[in-house]
Amino acid sequence: MVSVGKLGTPEEPVFIFDEGAPALYVDLITELEVDENDIVRISFGAMSRNGDGQIKAMIAVRIRMPKSIARDFCRALTKMQK
């Protein structure tokens, strides 16, 4: 079942559709850089241990966002610490 929400302003609403994407658990950041177009690239990995004891990390999710959105994300994370 899809749930719908709304953000933005009355003049410029943004409708959000949530189709229930799975929540991914991650243990580490495997990539963090900004490209020449000011797009922030972040990749997260989920760690596990093989039967022989070798630790490995599989990429769980890659996120690409404009630098302005990355700044908003950073500010939101900072507010959570307070």
pLDDT, one tens digit for every residue, the chain (82 residues): 677 888 888 899 999 999 888 888 999 999 999 999 999 999 999 999 888 889 999 999 999 999 999 999 999 999 998 7
Q: Does residue 48 lie in a domain region?
A: yes
pTM beyond cutoff 0.75: no
Residue with tokens 């599989």, as numbered in its chain: 58
For residue 67, which of 39, 41, 42 has the smallest C-alpha distance? Answer: 39
Q: Does residue 12 lie in a domain region?
A: no
Q: Which domain holds residue 35?
A: 24-80
Q: What is the pLDDT of residue 1?
A: 65
Q: Does residue 43 lie in a domain region?
A: yes
* Cβ neighbours around 65 below 10 Å, total: 14
Q: What is the pLDDT of residue 44?
A: 96
Tell me how many domains the chain contains.
1
Q: Does residue 10 lie in a domain region?
A: no
Q: Does residue 11 lie in a domain region?
A: no
